[in-house]
Amino acid sequence: MSDALKILQESLLKARAESSPQQILDLIPYSNFIGVEAKIEGADVLYRMDRRPSNIGNPSLPAIHGGVIGGFLELSAAIEILYTLDVNEVPKVVDFSLDYLRPGRYKTMYANCTVLRQGRKLVNVSATAWQDSSDTPIATARCHFLIN
Amino acid sequence: MNLRLAIFKPMLKLAMERTGHGAALGFKITKIGRGEVEMMFPYKAEVIGNPVTGVVHGGVIVSLLDTCCGSAAITTLTSAAVTPTMDLRLDYMHPAEPHKPIYVVAKVYRNTSNVMFCRGSAWQDDPENPIAHCVATFMKVETPSISLTNIIRRRFNHLIRGAKAFEKEADK
């Protein structure tokens, strides 16, 4: 087993034991690049992405890049699997379907995820992103992940 | 070559490569045609998604394909309009290999009065063996205020107002 895999698996156990999904995010450089944070809220994990200039897609509005919203939701879904399910490798994304409902304004964005079904090999996760209130989502995603 | 496209090409390149997320990731637009755009992304360690293998995160491929499909949609416009993404669906055929650039191509395959249908694919070594394939739809929202003539008119009015204010100040 490689060192990186060993570090990942130890961190996963530690993160679950300490109820700290942020520790899993810290292992993934992409989360730092777009600025995603996670914290426990009630029984769920709440994902947050603060605004930053490198996430802008349209500078004249300004609006968050559609790809960043996709990346944020895909990352949140993967963390949800790593944190809530008994999986000890980074899940492989198979497909990802994203509906944009409202423009992503240049401010903090939140997301939460639901594991809709877990099979032996495949997991289906839905993720929703919002800014002002969870009643007015800006994007919703469905994705399939392969797990070992 | 189309004159509109000739003026438009450097503007699109500037908007996609020099600002915001495109600049942060280091996208390069390698080809712009009517309804077809090609892009390249050099490998970057900051956007790794799997710390064990060093493969870039899927979010980067979402960004690449969204930008590429969106750019292809813009190239088909014949009037001042914005093209927000309605939806995007991505299939990952096999994981990307680390330390290698990713190439993307997107094409508009159907253009209607309100909606543009796009498809795109991303590959590393062989275009016939893509790492991901996507379909995306874009709305066409007419926005006269962003047409070049209107922007020039606004700038001109702004200058005239400035000059008048200066004259008034000088008369005092």
- Which is higher by pLDDT, A140 or B78? A140
Alpha-carbon gap: B124 to the closest alpha carbon of chain A (Å): 18
**pLDDT higher at A89 or B149:** A89
The amino acid that residue B92 corresponds to is Y
Residue A2, chain B, CB below 8 Å: the answer is yes
Are the beta carbons of B51 and A25 closer than 8 angstroms? no
Contact residues, chain B, for A71 at CB < 8 Å:
57-60, 62-63
Give domain limits for chain B: 3-139, 144-172
| pLDDT category of residue B69 using cuts at 50, 70 and 90 | very high
Helices (H) and strands (E) in chain B, counts: 4, 10
- C-beta separation of A79 from A45 below 8 A: yes
Measured between CB atoms, which of A59, A68, A93 is closest to B63?
A68
In this structure, CATH architecture of domain B3-139: Roll (3.10)
Buried b (16+ CB within 10 A) or exposed e, B20-32: bbbebbebebeeb
8 Å CB contact between B104 and B68: yes
- Dist. CA A7–CA A11, nearest whole Å: 6
**ipTM score assigned to the predicted complex:** 0.89
CB < 8 Å to A89, chain B? 52
pLDDT of B144 reads 77
For residues A104 and B60, the answer to whether their CB atoms sit within 8 Å is: no
* A93 interfaces chain B, CB cutoff of 8 Å: yes
**Between chains, do B87 and A55 touch, taking CB under 8 Å as contact?**
no
- Could you give the angle at the alpha carbon of B116 between the alpha carbons of B12 and B103, nearest 5°? 50
Helix, strand and coil content of chain A, in percent to the nearest 5, comes to: 30, 40, 30
Chain B residue numbers with beta carbons less than 8 Å from the beta carbon of A62 are 20
| Cβ distance of B48 and A29 shorter than 8 Å | yes
- Can you give the pLDDT of all 148 residues of chain A as single tens digits? 578 888 888 989 999 999 999 999 999 999 999 999 999 998 899 999 999 999 998 877 788 999 999 999 999 999 999 999 999 889 999 999 999 999 999 999 999 999 999 999 999 999 999 999 999 999 999 999 999 7
Identify the closest residue of chain A to B86 by CA–CA distance. A100
Q: Out of B47, B85, B87, whose CB is closest to A30?
A: B47
DSSP state, A61? Answer: T
Of B63, B65, B88, the CB nearest to A65: B63
Contact criterion met (CB below 8 Å) for B27 and A67 = no
How many A×B Cβ pairs under 8 Å? Answer: 133
Structural domains present in chain A: 3-146 (3.10.129.10)
Which positions in chain B touch A98 (Cβ < 8 Å)? 62, 87-90
Question: Under an 8 A CB cutoff, do B92 and A98 touch?
Answer: no
Q: Phi and psi (nearest 5°) for B122? A: -125, 135
